[in-house]
Chains A and B, each alone.
Chain A
Amino acid sequence: MIDESSVVLASAVRLTVPLAFAACGEYIAERAGTINISVEAMMLGGAFSAVLGATVTGSAATGLLFGMAAGLLVGFVHAQFSHRLGVNTYVVGLVLSALVLGLTSFLLDSVDLDKNQQVGAVDIPFLSDLPLLGPVLFSHRWPVYLLVALVPFVWWLVQRSRFGLELRAAGENPRSADVTGIDVRKRRRQALLICGLLSGLGGAYLAVGEVGMFNQNMTAGRGFVVIAAVIFGGWTLRGTLTGCLVFGAADAMRLALPALGLQLNAQLLIAAPYVLALLAMMFFAKSHRAPGALGRPFVRGTV
């Protein structure tokens, strides 16, 4: 029993990690006041690019860098269209999602990708031998430990650095920020770039970490779940990561329950994370902790 539950818990952690990488990015984007619905595109692009990079260079670790670059590129395009040219950010996000899905599906059919490229697993000495906790926390592929370093950094960046202060000002009250001399649109573009980098990494980990190959539409809506996780977490980093863990665990349950011999309805289990996300938003969306200008474009000289 203890073995089975540690397998389920370990898989919950594994499924949480891609979400958590992307959610750190989306958290930064939303604190800057922009709901970025192209996370899905960033993750999918990152996943494809990572496998492509791993195929070309023969190294899964380089693949991760490729994935980050792809996410960055999507973030750049999104930022230029929505926070320089002033196109509706939802429109841009939607079109980019369609574009990346089409592009990756097209290329998948035309390019031969290596089917088995995964970054290595690292067992942390001694700790990984612990019963239950060992396999759950201390025996993972190495990017998981990168996340452990990333989270405090993101917290510091947003809460303690000057850049983060300006970022949050742009998200809370862009007009005041503007008067203070902060370039609101520039901060938002930068937030989107960081989001692209981290979401690309999340997608890349999904591909070259967890799955080891690229499938058509392999992110399958995880990017949207990431957005829900940030809302679920009440726009705090701690809450966002909790949200990711909840959604990751729901995903792990879906995969694990049939193996454990529990007969549960497949459709219900697939829908569960999305229903959970909706319920979470229902309970948390009205919270006053939301950034004041969330989702509202900033144009100088307008109300």
Chain B
Amino acid sequence: MTGLLQAPRANSAAGAPGPPAPPPRPPLTERLRTPALYVLSLSAAFGIAAILVAVVGKSPKDAAVAMFDGSLGSGAALGQSVDQAAPLLLVAVGSVIAARAGIFNIGQEGQVVIGAALGAGVGLFMPGPGWFVLPMILLCAALGGALWAGVAALLHYWRGVDVVISTLLLIFVANQVVSFAVNRDYLLRETAVPGQTTTSQSDMLRESVWLPRFGEFPGFNIGAGIFLAVVLAVAVYFALTRTRWGFRIRLLGLNARTAHRAGVGAVVVGGGALLASGAFAGAAGGVMLTGSGYRMQDGFAGNVGFDGLLVALVAKDNPLHAVPVAFFFGALRAGGGFLAATGIPRYIVAVVTALLVLAVVFPTAVAEIRRRVPARTKEA
């Protein structure tokens, strides 16, 4: 505490011209405080989850073992975790683009389903060889996501509607749009087979437009989606840090007024970032469609939009950091499926996920507060 308080005073007292002396290295206890806080709050998150499981009379150890078996314990489980990570990463990378531009898009859940629905339409009705139709599905899925984010962009830049609220409300509308489509014969509802009743889902995509899977080892194989997602994450990282477009986005996000004076249009750059984030969410829907489910149905998104958003939060808006975080969250999702066998409701995974996010933002926030203390004392 005292170390932090003294640093700025020492500098101003010197008052010497030339480059200011580098601030003295804080003592070891100061430097260890943040990592220690991380360890503490992460353990607290897992501790709370364990207590919850114990409170309802189940064994936390069984839960941990099941989570491990379902996510990393076998080749098949590992493949599951990787497959779960792919759409999460895509959603997260999109969220990063918007967040860097200072826009908080939280409607990915809706953008995912609209993208997937448009992709399903293309996949079911467009003739042609798989090598042509599959990219078209993914492209149209991205387009669908961008379109849905575009509604929010339009409302924001035309009428000043808060993006957070509009993207949120659009999720509910998107779910009904898709529900409408899979309940209409002339849209996406599955073709009636004589003697069978149709349900609220689309036909299955033909096998030639499925995403290829790699690795024929017994049990372990992963879909191509993860490669697409990782390549795009790296590409977005470089686009954001090394290109003029990325610079404009960051400028807008850091200081909208400066950006305006520098000729960075909030509508074009900001709106573009919002559309791009929607496109990534839509692409995630496309990957889910062609990578694992192969058909559209009610409840398609399964919280991928929200979880992907949390990945971006934990990765602190860095697309490269989002890669390992997405794997971790993918493993949590995959492990959750195994909980059913132990009789522990799988919703504990949602609790753990949310607690982890709080655990990650907590130390940053505390560090931020501590950083602010000297400034405040100086003011007074």
- Chain A contacts to B: CB under 8 angstroms: 35, 37, 81, 84-88, 90-92, 94-96, 98-99, 101-103, 105-107, 109-111, 221, 224, 227-228, 231, 265, 267-268, 270-271, 274-275, 277-278, 281-283, 285-286, 295, 299-301
Contacts and interface: CB of A to CB of B under 8 A. Distances in A.
A271 B306 contact: no
A75 B28 CA distance: 36
Contacts of B349: 102
Interface string B286-323: 00000000000000000000100110010000000000
19 contacts: A37-B165, A85-B362, A90-B104, A95-B358, A98-B310, A98-B353, A102-B351, A106-B347, A107-B56, A109-B345, A221-B172, A267-B179, A274-B169, A275-B173, A278-B161, A278-B166, A281-B165, A285-B159, A301-B379
B204 interface: no
B160 A86 contact: no
Contact of B365 (A85, A106, A221, A281): A85
Contacts of B72: none
A265 B180 contact: yes
A161 to B, nearest CB: 28
A101 B351 CA distance: 8
A102 B164 contact: no
A36 to B, nearest CB: 11
B355 A99 contact: yes
Interface of B: 52, 56-58, 104, 106, 155, 159-162, 164-166, 168-170, 172-173, 176-177, 179-180, 183, 306, 309-310, 313, 345, 347-351, 353-355, 357-358, 361-362, 364-366, 368-369, 372, 375-376, 379
- DSSP class of A's interface residues: helix, strand, loop or mixed? helix
B180 A274 contact: no
Contacts of A105: 345, 347, 350
A103 B190 CA distance: 35
Contacts of B162: 35, 231, 281, 285, 295
A221 B171 CA distance: 10
Given A105-B345, A300-B376, A87 B365 contact: yes
A271 B176 CA distance: 6
Given A37-B164, A102-B350, A267-B180, A278 B170 contact: yes
B351 A224 contact: no
A71 B361 CA distance: 22
Contacts of A37: 164-165, 168
Nearest to A110: B56
A301 B375 contact: yes
Given A105-B347, A274-B172, 15 more contacts: A35-B164, A85-B362, A91-B357, A98-B310, A99-B350, A102-B351, A106-B350, A224-B169, A224-B172, A231-B165, A267-B180, A270-B172, A271-B177, A274-B173, A282-B159
Contacts of B355: 99
A84 B306 CA distance: 25
A109 B347 contact: yes
Nearest to B357: A95
Main secondary structure of the interface of B (DSSP, over half): helix
Contact of B172 (A103, A110, A271, A301): A271
Contacts of B172: 221, 224, 270-271, 274
B155 A278 contact: yes
B205 to A, nearest CB: 23
Nearest to B159: A282
A85 B364 CA distance: 9
Contacts of B362: 81, 85
A98 to B, nearest CB: 4
A231 B355 CA distance: 30
A148 B18 CA distance: 69
A98 B376 contact: no
Contacts of A107: 56
A285 B165 CA distance: 11
For the complex of A and B, 9 pairs with smallest distance between CB atoms: A102-B350, A85-B365, A110-B56, A99-B354, A109-B345, A271-B176, A105-B347, A106-B347, A102-B351
B160 A286 contact: yes
A278 B167 CA distance: 10
Contacts of B164: 35, 37, 90, 295
A88 B310 CA distance: 13
B159 A94 contact: no
Given A85-B365, A106-B52, A282 B161 contact: yes
B101 to A, nearest CB: 15
B100 to A, nearest CB: 14
A106 B345 contact: yes
A81 B177 contact: no
Contact of A281 (B161, B173, B368): B161
A115 to B, nearest CB: 18
A63 to B, nearest CB: 20
Contacts of A285: 155, 159-162
A87 B306 contact: no
Contacts of A101: 350
Contacts of A271: 172-173, 176-177
